[in-house]
Structure 1
Amino acid sequence: MYEQSFRTIQEGEVAKGTIVAVEKDYVVVDIGYKSEGQIDINEFKDVDGVIQAEVGQEVDVLLERTEDDEGTIILSKEKAAKIKVWDEISRVYNDDGEITGSIVGRVKGGMSVDIGVPAFLPGSQVDLRPVRNLDALVGQTFDFKILKFNKKRSNIVLSRRVLLEKEREVKKTETLKVLETNQVMQGVVKNITDYGVFVDLGGIDGLLHITDMSWGRVGHPSEMFGIGDEINVKVLNFDRDRERVSLGLKQLKEDPWIAAAEKYSVGTRIEGRVVSLADYGAFVEVEEGVEGLIHVSEMSWTRKVRHPSKIVNVGDVVEAVVLSINPEAKRISLGMKQVEPNPWDVIAEKYPVGTTIEGRIKNITDFGLFIGIDEGIDGLVHISDISWTKRIKHPGEIYKKGDEVRAVVLNIDRENERFSLGIKQLEVDPWDEIPQKYKVGTSVTGLITNVTDFGVFVELEEGIEGLIHVSEISNEKVKTPVGMFNVNENVTAKVVAVSRRDRKIALSLRRLEDEADRAVYSEYLNSTQAATSNLGELLKQGLAAQNDDDDKTEE
């Protein structure tokens, strides 16, 4: 118990006391006065509402009033603490010292700091560089410099930057003593930009450029680092006069291209990640710092790839084969299609010439039909191989996309990757029998299908036409048959020539006319000869009769 008297303890002074009792609403404290004093119980509760007071515990208290109406001494623990804090603040300020505080929240222009009493930390004094996320500092405890204070106005201004600058200068002095080019040092990432990161080596910052971070591709420095990361770096260049330091991280490892030629010889199968796409191909990271190009022409044996995005996406892991490598130029050519056998190498064995296949029409063009054979391989039925006899202006007249059709394998061109098919070859060529069926010299009857300046086309049977050339229409000169004949009329003509190879039948009306004229003339000749013969007989008979009469007369 303190031997203090009322005369030595005045109202407004701070004294030490001892807790003698903890009641429901107050704590009784003996400060050596003629009677004990009381302190509101709430001044002893922590943030969770738990009472932090025990009998025998010593506390600093402020004597607010010596006696109230009931003769009780009124004390305050909180006010005593604040007075002591202001005393400490004054001492630290005068001694150019440091004070510890916790950042409790953001306020206009900076942060609020609890150092026993509220204090203001301007935003410019938080760190050496502007802090983007001040909220992240709330709840953290730091040492501060007191820039100024006013007890009457309860105004205190703090700075953390001043201490950091002082600390930085000390570290900088020590770092400059040992900093040399090619030295490996440990640092802390302090700032991240688009072109690199700044690393604190100890009071002095060095720039680790994005091109010196990895032998591989780096999209943005933030992909590799975060603020506060501790990293080992190599000093590439140090300008002592300007205090500029260039750093490298990839230089801590050997350039992977040095051993690339041995590791990735031609024919080696690799697995890599697609890191970027271009119109002409995809770049694949084989390992950190080693990228290869898969050209669009090397992506598929059968598909015509217009853009690599039709086959792969950035981030995909793909298999490929090394086609060529140039370590000096740091280039590797890769092929995806070489991972699988070339289907054109086995297609001839699978579908020999003469094989009948069945497939779906995938595309129709002016010149023919494309039929799906195997995955990625289409066969072409040229328009000339659709029918032996029909005149087809466009394949779309007969077929539509998606139709199932049968065809015969005509030819496989491995080098040019062409697969030729024929539909008409499924049937016997009717022209094989035409020369026997329509022999030269015979008369035939057919339907006129077309009349042109140079002649008349006559359909003898379905798909088989003959041509009466303008010169074979009449013995008289005909300039054009147009107007002389009508389509869909029947006409009879004479076969004058048949060419199986050219698939042509030449007809003639003129020769049929000549034949008819000869027949008439022959009939005329025959009739004339008969008449002459009859006249001779009559003359003979007449002469014989006359001779008989002469004989009788002589008698």
Structure 2
Amino acid sequence: MTNQLKFKDLENQQSSKINITPGAIIKGTIIAIDGQFAVVDTGLKSESRVSLKQFSDVSGNINATIGDEYEFLLETVDNGDGVTILSREKAIRNKVWDELSKAFKAEEMIVGKVIERKKGGFLVDLGSVTAFLPGSHAFTKAVRENPEDLEGKEFSFMIVKMEKRRNNIVVSRKLVHDKENDGDRKELLNSMKIDDVVTGVVKNLTDYGAFIDLGGVDGLLHITDISWKRLKHPSEVIKVGEELNVKVLNHDQDNNRVSLGLKQMVEDPWSNIDRRYPPKTKLMGKVTNMLDYGCFIEIEDGIEGLVHMSEMDWSNRNIHPSKILNLGDEVEVMVLDIDAERRRISLGIKQCKQNPWLSFSEDHAIGDKVTGKVKSVTDFGLFIGLPGGIDGLVHVNDLTWDENGEEKLKEIKKGDEMTAVIISLDSEKERISLGLKQLEDNPFDEFLTSHSKGDRVVITISTIDDGKLTGETTHGLPVIVKKLASDFSANIGDHLEVYFMSYDRKLNALAMSLSEIKHKATKYTKSNQGSDSSATLGDLMKKQLDK
């Protein structure tokens, strides 16, 4: 009994030297192999049985030898049946986590093997621990590798994130590349100077430009610095993987930013442009863009000019470009104006064709009669179509001698064929004035040549209304008296003596007054017409009567 107590005390004393807290790492020796289990002695009261699978290597080979000592994680000291449960796998995993944690804190690189592709990235074996490699951190070269190029291969990684409780580790291959190249990057940036020519590979294309790998440093080639001509996307000129010689436009060492230029490698096409294309030069160009107000024509690589809608067609100043042109069309244009400083060229298409306004003015003179169909009717008159696709305006005041022009205008419709007299021509301003009433003699001519302002005239009253009256002269010319005294009294059909004031073109009537006019004007004569050949007869009469 005494010997048994001594042995028990010795056993307890031996156990007390071992940390028997669940989760502790303890050492044990394989004392026997029993089927698929290794019998392990850890110095505790009972021996433990550990599956031989926990002693297998990456290839699946069992490395368990009697007499060898290993580390185990103590899961349970006594599971109720007097058995101590150990785990070789968890001990290894704990050890790996400890080593990875030290590397993470020290920002050291680790080695792992890409074993499987997953959504958004890859799984990496770090030795008993699996980490996740995001796709954004998987590639390092200027030209992207294919995902299959990574699987099954070992690489160096940097740990980005660790959560042991959730068994989560995130690694990066890109950070390794950045760290290894950090020194080279600083050296490259320090050696760069503005206007240096450097060689790089197109790494990526975006809507606003391209990123160029200069050997550890990425430079931005903005879309406006790719070509002198207008681009919608960088892919029109360059492609990923292409090697380019570019010029350094600017670089910021503090932020590792480099601005590059490709178009600066060739001469600016706008240099001496005004010498190459003086005004009135005719040349062929290509339609590159169409807008509501005009279109752009490329006349050489990197040089585009605007053809405003008013410079497209002689007969229609507001025509939309799509009505006569298509993208890619080759058209003849004329240089109208160049602003080299603002990089703007004004071009014209209609100037390369015969000017119908000039042709018309060469074939016709003021006073000639022309016939055409009414193209449109407006509040102020109507337009008659003329040879060459142009048109002339008949103002409402030049429609008739006998009645209100606005009333006459209501009788005219689009498509009516009409003959008119040319009363003014201005080919430079593209204006032609026509008249219908000028086809007949002016019934007011005789009266105006024989009467002066203030002369007495006898009229017959036609209407009396709202403080004014209308009537006729003895020769049937319309008369209007606009202001009647409140005590005025007369009847329709009465003869009334009034005083001549002026000729009212708008009302096409003689304006009279009931009061005598003290200051009289000279009579209207053809010698008073002046030499203004563009004025209508009515204009000349108004000019004379307003003296």
With the shorter chain as reference, the TM-score category is 0.5 to 0.7
| 1:463-512 deviation digits (Å, cap 9, x = unpaired) | x7257999xxxxxxx9999754336x9x9x99xx9xxxx9999xxxxxxx
State the SS of the aligned residue for 1:256.
coil
CA 373–118 in structure 1, closer or farther in 2 if over 3 Å, else same: farther
1:165 to 157, 178, 191: 178
User: 2:137: which partner in 1?
Assistant: 126
- 2:334 aligns to what SS in structure 1? strand
Alignment of 1:405-444 (within 5 A): 405-424=418-437, 429=441
Distance 1:186 1:271 in 2: 34
Contact 1:184 1:234 in 2 (8 A): yes
Deviation, 1:342, is: 1.6
Distance 1:422 1:168, change over 3 A: same
One-letter code of the match for 2:155? Answer: F
- C-alpha distance in 2 between matches for 1:433 and 1:176: 91
Contact kept? 1:214, 1:249, Cα under 8 Å = yes
In structure 2, give the amino acid aligned to 1:338.
Q
The alpha carbon displacement at 1:323 in A equals 2.1
Residue 250 of structure 1: how far off its partner (Å)? 1.1
Please say which structure displays the higher CA radius of gyration.
Answer: 1
Unaligned runs of 5+ in 2: 1-32, 39-58, 63-88, 448-458, 511-547
2:150 pairs with 1:141? yes
Contact 1:283 1:292 (C-alpha < 8 Å) held by counterparts: yes
Contact 2:332 2:352 in 1 (8 A): yes
Cα-to-partner distance string for 1:392-422 (whole Å, 9 max, x where unaligned)? 4444332234434333444433344332333
Give 1:199's match in structure 2, choosing from 190, 206, 212. 212
Partner of 1:450: 463
Q: CA deviation at 1:249?
A: 0.9
The answer on whether the counterparts of 1:360 and 1:405 sit within 8 Å (CA) in structure 2 is yes
**Quick one: which amino acid aligns to residue 126 of structure 1?**
H
Question: Is the contact made by 1:320 and 1:334 (CA closer than 8 Å) also made in structure 2?
Answer: yes
Note if contact 2:371-2:417 (Cα within 8 Å) is conserved in structure 1: no
- Give the RMSD, CA atoms, in angstroms: 5.7
| Match in the other structure for 1:106 | 119
Distance 1:272 1:459, change over 3 A: same
Deviations along 1:418-444, one digit per CA (max 9) or x if unpaired, are: 323333455x54959999xxxxxxxxx
- TM-superposed CA distance for 1:237, in Å, is 4.9
Q: What is the Cα deviation at residue 112 of structure 1?
A: 3.9
Give, in angstroms, the shift of residue 187 of structure 1: 1.7
Give 1:39-438 correspondences, 5 Å limit: 101=114, 104-106=117-119, 110-112=121-123, 119-123=130-134, 126-127=137-138, 139-141=148-150, 144-145=155-156, 158-165=171-178, 168-169=181-182, 172=185, 182-190=195-203, 196-218=209-231, 230-237=243-250, 245-266=258-279, 267-275=281-289, 284-295=297-308, 297-305=310-318, 319-327=332-340, 330-351=343-364, 353-366=367-380, 368-374=381-387, 377-424=390-437, 429=441
CA contact (8 A) 1:105 1:113 kept: no
Change (3 A) 1:467 1:174: closer
Q: What letter matches 2:132 in structure 1?
A: L
Q: Is the 8 A contact 2:204 2:240 kept in 1?
A: yes
Separation (CA, whole Å) in 2 of partners of 1:288 and 1:226: 19
Counterpart residue number, 1:71: none
Give the whole-Å Cα distance in 2 for the aligned partners of 1:390 and 1:176.
Answer: 87
Deviation digits for residues 239-286 of structure 1 (CA, Å, limit 9, x no counterpart): 77876544221121111122523432322324144558697x665443
Contact conserved, 2:298 with 2:305, CA < 8 A, in 1?
A: yes
Question: Is the 2:310–2:316 contact (alpha carbons within 8 Å) kept by the matching residues of 1?
Answer: no
The one-character-per-residue Cα deviations of 1:203-222 (angstroms, maximum 9, x if unpaired) are 12233344433223456667
> In 2 relative to 1, CA 309–114 (structure 1 residues): closer, same or farther, beyond 3 Å?
farther
Distance 1:480 1:244 in 2: 90
Q: Is the 8 A contact 2:473 2:479 kept in 1?
A: no
CA pair 121-420 structure 1, distance change in 2 beyond 3 A: same
The equivalent residue for 1:72 is none
Q: Contact 1:105–1:138 at 8 Å: present in 2 too? A: no
User: Would the aligned equivalents of 2:284 and 2:332 in 1 still touch at CA under 8 Å?
Assistant: yes
Structure 1 vs Structure 2: percent identity of aligned residues? 37
Amino acid paired to 1:141:
L
In structure 1, the partner of 2:492 is 486
Check whether the contact 1:360–1:372 (CA below 8 A) recurs between aligned residues.
yes
Instruction: Supply the distance in 1 between the matched residues of 2:191 and 2:350 (Cα, whole angstroms).
Output: 55
1:352-405 CA distance string (max 9 Å, x none) = 553341212412324x32222246522122334433434444443322344343
Distance 2:276 2:385 in 1: 40
Q: String of CA shifts for 1:319-341, please: whole Å, max 9, x gaps.
A: 42112335455443322331222
TM superposition shift of 1:174: 8.3
| Partner SS, residue 216 of structure 1 | coil
Partners of 1:480 and 1:221 in 2: how far apart?
Answer: 83
